[in-house]
Amino acid sequence: MRIQWESAVCTKCLYSIRPLRQRNPSHGLPLLLPLVRSEDLLNQYVSLCDGFLFCGGEDITPLLFGEEPQNGNGKTDITVDLFQIRLMKRVLASRKPVLAICRGMQILNVSCGGTIWQDLSLIPQPTLNHTQQSASRGDVSHRIKIERCSKLKQFVGSCIYVNSFHHQSVKTPGRNVCVSARSPDGVIEAIELSGHPFALGVQWHPECMYRTSPEMRSLFHEFIAHSLINSKDSGHTISWNIIYKG
């Protein structure tokens, strides 16, 4: 099965992926992880999966990062928020690979005690238009500069062009969260967790650029490679799992 990196949306669940030995360019099998409240089931999710991908979706309830709602804050679902934050904390504690996209990056930061800008209009200095209106979601919108000593630079280089479909961004990085990329206006475009084997968050949508961008394919390749390594360490039969929230 060939993995198609598309912008599928599911408001009440996450996806997971497991690696396969068969002839499969991505070497991964996506698994759907339904929203659960049970502590036991959350722990079973973490045990089942070898890599986790959290992707885009709606805004996070501001109270969960210590703020009241402000102008520009969008639609939220606190049940989904709590599910993903609880799961993210367990995944990070397990040290299994995490790739967090758009909202997923913000879930990663909030799970570590960080905050987010509820709307880019609240940032004191002028910002770019981060919500592109292009015909294709795979089109690029602006460039980002990547920090020299970051893991992300090893995978995609020091300066790349990305798409942009967000009105929020990381405000205060959480515990052990390092900023790994910014756009020209200073908006945080990528983060990573210090001391973790592979825990990266990106604000753009690399899944929409997978077919056209070697850098995005490299990013997914590294994520899958780390998941494959983890699958061997955990005794799984080359099976890895990603978590994907829409």
Residues with catalytic roles: 102, 205, 207
User: Which of 81, 108, 80 minimizes the C-alpha distance to 92?
Assistant: 108
**Residue listed under structure tokens 């997971």:** 16
Distance, in Å, from the CA atom of 91 to the CA atom of 65, rounded to the nearest integer, reads 19
Which amino acid type is present at position 49?
A: C
Query: Which residue(s) pair with 11 in the sheet?
Result: none
Amino acid symbol at 217: R
Phi, psi torsion values for 2, nearest 5 degrees: -95, 125
User: Strand (E) positions, 64-198?
Assistant: 98-101, 115-117, 142-146, 159-162, 169-172, 177-182, 188-193
Question: Cα-atom radius of gyration of the chain, to the nearest Å?
Answer: 17
Beta strands in the chain (DSSP E): 13-19, 28-34, 52-54, 98-101, 115-117, 142-146, 159-162, 169-172, 177-182, 188-193, 199-202, 244-245
Is the sign of the CA dihedral 136, 101, 83, 72 positive or negative?
Answer: negative
Name 228's bridge partners: none
Distance CA 196, CA 96 (A): 9
